[in-house]
Amino acid sequence: MIYALTLSLITSALRTIGHIICMHIRPASNRFRSMIKSYLISLPFILLIYKTHILEPSMPDILGSYPPKLILFHAYLFDLMIFLLFVECFFHIERSVTLRILVELLNSGNSDSNDLQTHYSTEDMVRQRLAVLEVNNFIYKTNDSWFLKPKGKFFAVAMKISSWLFQSASQHDRTE
Amino acid sequence: MKGLIISIIVFAGYVVTTILASHVFKPKRHGRLFTATLFAFSPLYFIAYTVTPANIYVLPDSLLIGPRHVDMFYGYTIFLLNCHSYIDFFFGFNGGFSMSLILLILNAGTKGITSETLISSFRIDPVQDKIYSWRLPALIKNGCITKLENNGYALTAKGRAIALISRFCKRLLNLGAGG
């Protein structure tokens, strides 16, 4: 088990470092797609590290008791979970409006709400997100009006169901 | 393997409980509901792991290998990671700004909706908007910012720490201002 977890942690660390370096050298327009690509590229690494027996001298006792198939199963599962955690944390940092407000306050010192709204206005926020949604094929524009593409419609219906399940309000309905 | 199976069962219970609790309590903010349920289900996982037999009535002997405590904490880690994904899904999906825009476009139907109408959907009046109206009070309540006498806002030590970490992460990941 520890061997499987070590395999996945090493692979995850290599993938994350590689991804961050790549995004500094040549930032991808679609970061989610680039993360998926990096995950798929990193998949053989677990098998490669396992087959080359690099880690074996450091944990011989543990190796003796665990079947290879089970080691690889746990290594791949845990690697997937860490990958999902990285993707989630990435979007928390990138998309969070609250974190953006805090960073704006950090950069500008004390500000009133008008200053904040000037630096980071709702109008800019909406226009920026609409541009992202258009690039990612969720929506399209005709005669100055926005419409949903099938992908956008699927997510909108799914959100309606999810809002009912959790009895939650969306951002435009929320006032407190 | 026992830890993994129990963590999946407990996680399923966690999901069902949070959905039922949302219907019963109808919370305005779901963060506390998710956290409180997580605190309740964490001991439940360890109890379930301790009281059930090693093979949990179904596992073959070939899968009952390895130290027990490692398996138990591995299962709990998987449970926590699943909970994180689930909570993140909720906030990204139900509370997401992009999803809110998509929903407004869906509600507009075949006529579509202009950018100006979408922007006005987030306004309470010409001065206030829905993005800031609840976030700033929430940040004050959570101890991240304070309101000054001149109506300005300043970061508290907690808010400053979060902002510094966020700014560092954004630079590390080579992101723009974001939000």
Pairing mode, strands A139-142 and A145-148:
antiparallel
Q: What is the pLDDT of residue B82?
A: 93
Phi and psi at B58, nearest 5°, equal: -125, -25
Cα angle B136, B142, B144 (rounded to 5 degrees) comes to: 70
- ipTM surpassing 0.95: no
B23 vs A165: CA distance, rounded Å: 8
Tell me how far apart the alpha carbons of residues A138 and A132 are, in angstroms, rounded to a whole number: 9
Residues 58-97 of A with CB under 8 A from B: 62, 65-67, 70, 74, 77-78, 81-82, 84-85, 88, 90-97
Give the length of chain B. 179
Q: Where are the domains of chain B?
A: 2-94, 97-126, 129-179
Q: Which residue of A has its CA nearest to B149?
A: A112
pLDDT of B165 reads: 92
Q: What is the pLDDT of residues A4-63, one digit of tens each?
A: 888 889 899 999 999 899 888 988 878 888 999 999 998 998 888 888 877 666 665 554
- A33–chain B Cβ distance below 8 A for any pair: no
Encoding tokens for residue A142? 């005709």
pLDDT tens column, B37-77? 999 999 999 999 989 888 888 877 777 777 788 888 989 99
Q: For the whole model, what pTM was predicted?
A: 0.79
What are the structural domains of chain A? Answer: 2-95 (no CATH), 97-175 (1.10.10.10)
Tell me whether residues A88 and B111 touch, CB distance under 8 A: no
CB contact under 8 A, B112 and A147: yes
Q: Quick check: B54 contacting A, CB < 8 Å?
A: no
Residues A129 and A124: their CA atoms lie apart, in Å, by: 8
Structure-block tokens of residue B151: 């109506």
* pLDDT class of B107 with cuts at 50, 70, 90: confident
Judged against a pLDDT cut of 90, whether residue B27 lies above it is answered with: no
Average pLDDT, chain B: 86
